[in-house]
Structure 1
Amino acid sequence: MTSATDLTTVRLGTRPSRMAMEQTGRFADVFRARYPQVLLDIVEIVSEGDRHRGPLSAIGGKGAFTRNADRYLLDGRVQATIACAKDVPGPHDRSPGIVIAAVLPREDTRDVLVLPAGHPATTLAELPPGTRVGTSAPRRSALLKALHPTLVQVPIRGNADSRLRALDEGKLGADVMIAALAGLRRLGREDRVSEILDPAVWLPAAGAGTVIVEHRSDDPATGGLLAPLTHAPTRILLDAERAALATLHGGCLTAASAHATLDAVSGVVTVHAAVLDPAGGTPLRASASGPATTPSTVGQDAGRQLLDAGAARLLGRPA
């Protein structure tokens, strides 16, 4: 059996967008510094989501950004793939045999309001009624309806870089848009932020601000090479958030949020989870705390509280 010390090359699959390549480049720097003797070969993989121009819901939601990479991984064309954790489906929506190998340090989890270039800064609350707000995320759409019902949600497509360009050129189909702060920072475009949205009100996505590297479960050599690159506190937070979403059987088309925090002194992880009403009603919220040694259990507790409170109705499933 091949061990981590025997590997001379690791093929890493990534989407070819500017943001994906930037986060891949950051990971590559860390990998090469630790393993100068191992060649890291970057393989660009165009996803179904990159090709599709219609609504993501028609092709299975954000999982469309990972399905092709999963195929490359499972058939051995690459040994690992890298992606934003919030775009990676939960275990019940994935092909079996794929596991998280490395979790990079969490970046900012907040969403932001972005205006066309040259427009004076404003806030969501100050936008006039009827303003078209671009976003395709069910979570963001539900929050917009609940918090700012006079604004109009407009579905948009494309990676962050192309969305910015289309917004500035008046070709996005929206007057403003919601984006992830971490993504804009990776692109060096934090200057485009008009308002940073309060995460206590504008609830973050599970896995927000977190980049992960996955491998096949039957490839322990690659896993052994990648595991030491994991940022342990972020792995705790991610495991807790994904467990909450998995308990709800939530996925890329689910209007839900799970956000974990870690008290490094007490060793306690807390998960704040919510299921949002797609029609704009009051969200169901729950929270749970427990030892950081069992983050998945804490996340499951928060998810079960939501199910007990009637979340199945908002999720469109039988109670």
Structure 2
Amino acid sequence: MTNVVFAERFAESPLRIGVRTSVMATILAERVATLLGKAAPGIRIELVKIQVTSDHWGGDLSVIGGKAAFSKQIDEALVGGQIDVAVHCMKDVPGDVPLPEGTAFGAYLEREDVHDVLVTRDGTPLADLPPGSVIGTSAVRRAAQITAYRPDLRTKRIRGNVDARLDKLHAKDSPYAGLVLARVGLQRIGAVDEHQEVLPVEFQGDKSTLSMVPPVGAGVVGVHARVADAPVMQLVNQLNHPSTAAHILAERTMLHMLRGHCNSPIAGYATTTPDGQMAMFGMVFNQDGSAFVRSHAWGDLGDPAILGARVAADLLHQGAMKLIDATGRS
């Protein structure tokens, strides 16, 4: 892409970034805007805030179309030309719904922290919460792993942005003893506290050890654009972090093969080992965490889709689809 071509493309209008209206989404879009501004000095950039279906819904996502409720209106604006790029948290991009025709992710920013944390009013760790305590979480994956470790606890669905969830925890009549939240989200809004319990991402092989394996796409921001818009796609590609892109390809290949939907208790996490291989861990739970299958494999960093497919095939061989189907689809 030459500077002349790009200058002509945006001579009379700014580059428009579509984003949800939440504080968290705005923070991420501003980060992308800053990076694009550095890649193309002098370009005018405008954030276009778009209300999505999930912004108006506090119940089960499956009722309103699953994770697509986080992005449907933004995707429509991208396809329709009202925006030039869209910014998404990859953990919110569904695995059972194809991207709109003619669009693709042009960049994945370097992965951030993937840990979940337990937030309580007094810093009590998960192991020490009294039996019957209620833990708030919006993710079936988290609920399954909590109840696998502490079947004497109860989980209760909680929706809304991070600030709203924290307000519900600290309310005088709150039913929640604690919340499980993504640490990266707390970091982004400056709400990390030393008393929060960081939950380990490694599954140790039995239910007696606490773990919280992350979801596919955890800690990764994706930048989505129209394939035919070559100047924008080439600019966006300058933000791409190659190893993160490889990890995401492995994870999402697994997710696609499992046909994961918004209620699926699926966990998946790919990393690069010190010797340059790619390692990937995948798990599928039933809804209460009493049954699960797991797979851990290694492969070539240059062919991440093969590794993701291998992990998915192993999980399917172990009966993952029965566990997924038992949770119901959107």
TM-score, normalization by structure 2: 0.89
Higher mean C-alpha deviation, range 223-232 or range 162-171: 162-171
Partner of 1:30: 35
Q: Are positions 1:233 and 2:234 aligned together? A: no
Partner of 1:316: 325
Distance 1:220 1:288, change over 3 A: farther
- Which runs of 5 or more structure 2 residues have no equivalent in the other structure? 203-210
Amino acid at match of 2:191: R
Displacement of 1:75 in angstroms is 1.1
- Which runs of 5 or more structure 1 residues have no equivalent in the other structure? none
Work out whether residues 273 and 285 of structure 1, in 8 Å CA contact, stay in contact via their aligned partners in 2.
Answer: yes
Work out whether residues 60 and 253 of structure 1, in 8 Å CA contact, stay in contact via their aligned partners in 2.
Answer: no
Distance 1:170 1:293, change over 3 A: farther
Q: Are positions 1:277 and 2:286 aligned together? A: yes
Displacement of 1:193 in angstroms is 5.2
Work out whether residues 244 and 299 of structure 1, in 8 Å CA contact, stay in contact via their aligned partners in 2.
Answer: yes
Partner of 2:205: none
Amino acid at match of 1:12: I
Amino acid at match of 1:86: K
Distance 1:231 1:241, change over 3 A: same
Work out whether residues 96 and 259 of structure 2, in 8 Å CA contact, stay in contact via their aligned partners in 1.
Answer: no
Cα deviations by residue, 1:225-275 (Å, 9 ceiling, x for unpaired): 100111111111111111111111113221101100113x54311111111
* Secondary structure of 2:254's aligned partner: helix
Distance 1:187 1:237, change over 3 A: same
Identical pairs, percent? 35
Q: Are positions 1:48 and 2:53 aligned together? A: yes
Work out whether residues 10 and 40 of structure 1, in 8 Å CA contact, stay in contact via their aligned partners in 2.
Answer: yes
Higher mean C-alpha deviation, range 10-19 or range 56-65: 56-65
Partner of 2:268: 258
Displacement of 1:61 in angstroms is 2.6
Work out whether residues 104 and 229 of structure 1, in 8 Å CA contact, stay in contact via their aligned partners in 2.
Answer: yes
Q: Are positions 1:130 and 2:149 aligned together? A: no
Cα deviations by residue, 1:71-115 (Å, 9 ceiling, x for unpaired): 111111111110111011126454333311111111110100012
Amino acid at match of 2:108: V
Alignment RMSD: 2.0
Partner of 1:67: 72
Query: What is the alpha-carbon distance in structure 2 between the residues aligned to residue 5 and residue 189 of structure 1?
Result: 40
Displacement of 1:7 in angstroms is 2.9
Partner of 2:17: 12
Displacement of 1:59 in angstroms is 1.2
Partner of 2:227: 217
Q: Are positions 1:267 and 2:276 aligned together? A: yes
Amino acid at match of 1:234: T
Query: How many correspondences in the alignment?
Result: 313
Distance 1:224 1:148, change over 3 A: same
Amino acid at match of 2:114: T
Higher mean C-alpha deviation, range 284-293 or range 171-180: 171-180
Displacement of 1:149 in angstroms is 0.8
Query: What is the alpha-carbon distance in structure 2 between the residues aligned to residue 129 and residue 60 of structure 1?
Result: 35
Q: Are positions 1:242 and 2:249 aligned together? A: no
Query: What is the alpha-carbon distance in structure 2 between the residues aligned to residue 61 and residue 20 of structure 1?
Result: 18
Query: Which of 294, 301, 316 is equivalent to 1:292?
Result: 301
Query: What is the alpha-carbon distance in structure 2 between the residues aligned to residue 4 and residue 182 of structure 1?
Result: 34
